[in-house]
Amino acid sequence: MDIQIRNLPDPAGQAPAPSSLSAAAASESFRDILSEFAVTEAETSPPPAAPLADLAFAQPSASQDTVDSIKAQTQDNLSWQAYYTSGGHFQLGERFTMPHVLPSHEEAVRAIGPGGPYSVEAVSNCILSMAAHVAQGNPEKIAEIRQEIEKAVAIFRRDYQAATKEKDLPQICLATYDAIMTGLDKLQAEYTQNNEAAAQTA
């Protein structure tokens, strides 16, 4: 797993998008889906003495709106949740780049608290919106996405435990994972019911 975290934000900042997912090349469809959670990027450059960060959710480009992009987004979001929960001290060796400026306690609490960009609701809704867009009403695709997210979280859990010696992920990450799985179950059931109803009326 490749987790990269750049400079951290000021109180009005936003979260860095993974390097593999270019926000500049994001498709309009993903912009529409995730606009509810994205925060407008600052137009001015941060001062050299206090580097800032971009805390917006990554928006996969048209060529990357696949199950792989959902896996990467899930791992990246969980890593930010773990980072803020631990006060900015979670790291995975050389694969995790410590930012120049650590978040204040208030910034960390705000980022993962209710309404924050890395709250349980915001992260789970982001992933579920991406899943719905990729699945396009296909329950089998939702099942595939679920399996791949399970794999992604298992890898992240292993790396987190190895780096921190903790027994498990932070509670907010576990709650987010449960919310994503519950949401995927509902989507799969809804799509299956819709397909069965369509088959009966055909």
Kindly state the helix (H) or strand (E) to which residue 29 belongs, with its residue range. Answer: helix 28-34
- Provide the 10 A C-beta neighbour count for residue 13: 23
- pTM (2 d.p.): 0.66
Q: Name the percent of the chain lying above pLDDT 90.
A: 44
pLDDT tens for 41-93 read: 333 333 332 223 344 444 444 445 588 899 999 998 998 898 888 877 666 65
Question: pLDDT tens-digit profile of 82-114?
Answer: 888 887 766 665 444 545 566 788 888 999 999
Q: What is the pLDDT of residues 173-192, one digit of tens each?
A: 999 999 999 999 999 999 99
Contact 18, 58 (CB under 8 A): yes
Contact present, 72 and 134 (Cβ < 8 Å): no
Phi, psi of 123 (to 5 degrees): -70, -45
CA distance 91 to 4: 10
> Structure tokens of 64?
């990357």
